Structure formats: structure tokens, C-alpha cells
A and B are shown apart, each in its own frame.
Chain A
Amino acid sequence: MPSPGGGSVRVEGQLGVGSRSLDGKLVASGVDVAPIRPYLPVRARIAGKAGAELTVKVALEPLAVAAQGKADLQDLAVADGDRPLVTAARIETTGIDYAWPATAKIDRIEIQKPTAVLERRADGTLPLGALLGPPGVAARDTARQAVVPRPNPAAIDVVVREVVVAGGSAVIVDGVVSPPARAELGDLRLTAKDVTWPARGPASIQLNAALPGGGTASAEGASAPTRGASI
């Protein structure tokens, strides 16, 4: 069956007694992720094409959805309006074990060729940080518009055994100084293990990057949910 924005979703399976459950297999490719934006706990505009091969179990009363398998996301863009601040050519996720509504254990996420613009504006604000905050009415709009409460998104609980970033690049722009300082990092490689969201345990991190002018930076450490990171 075609999906809105392109792509296809195919579900094969068996209905349970009284059509109150489904055991099946979901195969999706090239599905536009735009329709799921309202469910994501971020203010940014997210774009991309998703694919998946999942074994799915659905029960209606009470509602329960479980899925196992793998998924991918191509041409991801996290944008501030029309300006992408984070992109990735491809994200592959394997060893997914998902349970409704927002609990997932993932064995491995590989992010291929990501790019990021890490900017600090002249007033000290971080555009990317604001985009990754929870959705709501933008501060500049509150003075002119009545605040319309949005439904709270489901509480997310994600555990990932390993996250690998390969072939990444980043542009760092600091507008606090004049003229703005700018540095381009290349060949970014990151491996993080035991990542949890919300953070509740230490995640180990290894990072390597090429610096402008031929230098290199490497870091190895751990993040702690209450103390920050030690590198």
C-alpha cells in the first residue's frame, strides 16, 4: 500500500480470534516521516525516508504493540524552518525490540555521513539546542498569541547498546565574538555504548575528529546522567 509522501508499506499477518489481535510482518520502504512529527518530542522539523522490516504483534484490548527487527532512515534532515542544522545520509538500526507506546531496546544504530551546524548566536543562544527542546509555542510568539496547550508526548524510554557515527562532519560557528569564529571538523567518528534516553546510567564514548589545518582531536570517556561527562 502506498504511504503519504511516497514509499510503500506492506503488512502480512494473521488476525486473531474476533480480529482483536494481529501477528504479522511489516515491510516498509521510502516512507516519508513528516506525518510523525507531532509525536516527536522536539521542536525541529524532521524530514527523511524510513524503511523497516519488523515482526509485529498487536493486541487491541488492552492496546499493546510490540515489534522486533530492523529499520533505516535515509536523507534525514533536522531543520530550523528550511535550514537544515543536522543531516545524515543514512541511519541503520538493527536489533530493535519495541513496545507500545515509546519503549525501545536497540542493539546498534549506525549513522552514516552525518553533518551538523553547531552555532552560538551573538546573543549566546544555541539554535540547535532550542530545536531539540520540547515542542511548544515559540517565545517570540507568546506575546502576540494565546497559548494553546499541546498534548504531552508519550514518555520515551530508549536503550541502545551501541551507537556508531562514521564519516561525519560539523561546522562550528561562534557568533559571540566578532568576527564570528568558524571551524570545520571532518572525519568525525563516534562510538557510544550503553546509551539511554532519558539518561539513567553511564554511557561510554569514543570520539575522533580531524581539525582545520591538519590537527586531530580524540576523546574517550563516559557520560553520567547526574554529573555530566568525564573525558
Chain B
Amino acid sequence: MALRDVDLALTRGYLARRGTVAGKAGGDFDVKVALDPLAITARGAASISDLSISDGPQALVKVPRVEATGLVYGWPAKVSLDRLRAQGAWALIERGRDGGLTLLSLLAPATPPSPSATRGSAAPSAAATGLAPEVSVRETLVENAGAAIVDSAVSPATRVEITGARLVVRDLTWPAKVPPRSNCSCRRPGAGR
């Protein structure tokens, strides 16, 4: 199976998080489907172009290209990756006046629509349906990344820019099963590495 330029807007109902995910995905997979009982497995490689995670109109994460290799998917929500590589990622890491990290708040479950908005439907959110994703990544490599770190909890607010960051994380699991091992290096303008 080959997928090209799949709009990630299609996944919004399943991610059920406050942040808005955008981008175009593609991939090549060997898929096996059994109907009784239902079982779907897929193996292959996937990529996402122009990935962004936004809070309203403001993008907090932008990644021009993400590539995943050694992908193994099992129905309904189990994914393991051999290698996840992100190039040119940028993130706005902001601590708000209340001390909370804006980026983490995007991962909070979305507020369900009001009953009137769904015409009385009692459909539960993806989180409420028991669809618990299980993800593992042997190696995550983030190259040439940048970030703006803003702390609005102090006065005046501080802002630090970092560029050229390289992050390697090994044995990443979600939900966390084992502590991942990570290594990070970055540059700050005028402040060395």
C-alpha cells in the first residue's frame, strides 16, 4: 500500500488533543488484514512533511520533515519504530504566567463538544473509548533543530534562542516502560555549545 500527501487533518478526531496537528503524510507498507477476528498489521516506512502542532493560529512545533523507518503497526493502536528522524525541527517552549508549559497543555484531552453541537450524540472521545496508543521507538534522532524558550513566569519575561540542536533518544516508549537514554547538544548565539 502506498500513501501520498495524506492530510493529517484526518487524524484530528483520533488524537483528541487540544493542539491542532497539520501536515502531509506518506508511506509504503505491507499490510495484512484478517476479518474474523479483525486484525490489521502493517510494516514499512512513513514520512511527514510540514508537520506542525498549533495552539489556535500559533504553531508551537514545526518540523519540515519527519521520517520513520522500520515501522510495525498492530491494530488498533500499537506502533513500533526502528528509527525516527526529524530534520530542521523548531519548537516554542514557553512557560506561561501560571507556570505551566504551553506545549504540554496541547497534549491535554480536547474539550468535548457541547451536547447541542453534536445534536445529542453521546459519542465518546477517542480517549474515552479505551483506544490507548502504545508506541516504542528504538532511536529518535532530531537534527539541526531550534527552539525559542520563553519564560513568562518571571518579570520581565526571558527569551532564549537555541539553534543547531542535535538530540538522540534511545528506547523511547509511550506509555513509558523503561527510562529512555538521551544525548543532546545545541548552540546558543554568543554562548558557545
Tell me, yes or no, whether A binds B. yes
Q: Which residues of A contact B (CB under 8 A)?
A: 122, 174-181, 183, 211-221, 227-231
CB distance from A128 to the nearest CB of B (A): 14
Is B125 in contact with A217, judged by CB distance below 8 angstroms? no
Is B122 in contact with A122, judged by CB distance below 8 angstroms? yes
Q: Which residues of B contact A (CB under 8 A)?
A: 1-7, 9-10, 12-14, 16, 24-26, 29-35, 39, 112-113, 117-118, 121-126, 129
CB distance from B93 to the nearest CB of A (A): 29
Please give, as numbers and ranges, the residues of chain B lying within 8 Å of A177 by CB-CB distance.
Answer: 13-14, 16, 123-126, 129
Tell me the total A-B contact number using a CB cutoff of 8 A.
101
Of chain B, the residue at the smallest CB distance from A177 is B13
Q: What is the bound-complex CA distance between A230 and B129, given in angstroms?
A: 28
Is B123 in contact with A219, judged by CB distance below 8 angstroms? no
Is A178 in contact with B33, judged by CB distance below 8 angstroms? no
Is A213 in contact with B7, judged by CB distance below 8 angstroms? yes
Beyond A122-B124, A212-B7, is A179–B113 a contact (Cβ under 8 Å)? yes
Of chain A, the residue at the smallest CB distance from B110 is A178
Is A221 in contact with B123, judged by CB distance below 8 angstroms? no
19 example contacts (A-B, Cβ-Cβ < 8 A) are as follows: A122-B122, A176-B126, A177-B14, A177-B123, A177-B124, A178-B112, A178-B124, A179-B123, A181-B13, A213-B6, A215-B3, A215-B7, A215-B24, A215-B25, A217-B3, A217-B4, A219-B31, A227-B32, A231-B29
